[in-house]
Amino acid sequence: MSAPRPDPATFRDRFRRGETLVGSFIKTPTSHGIEILGGLGFDFVVIDEEHAPFDRAATDIGLLAARAAGTAGIVRVPSASPAAILSVLDCGACGILVPHVANPDKAREIVAASRYKGGARGFSASPRAGGYGTLKMWDHVAAADAATTVIAMIEDPAALDVIDAIVAVEGLDGVFIGRGDLTVALGAPTRDAPVVKDAVARIIAAARKAGKPVCMMVDGIAEASGFVAEGASAFIVSSDQGFLKKAAAQTLGDFAALKG
Active site positions, annotated? 51
154 SS3 class: strand
Work out the burial of residue 110: count CB atoms within 10 Å of its CB; fewer than 13 is exposed, 13-18 middle, 19 or more buried.
Answer: buried
Asked whether the beta carbons of 203 and 163 are under 8 A apart, the reply is yes
Please measure the distance between the N-terminal and C-terminal CA atoms of the chain and give it in whole angstroms: 45
> Distance between CA 179 and CA 184 in Å, rounded?
9
What angle do helix axes 104-114 and 82-90 make, rounded to 10 degrees? 40
CA–CA gap between residue 25 and residue 44 (Å, rounded) = 9
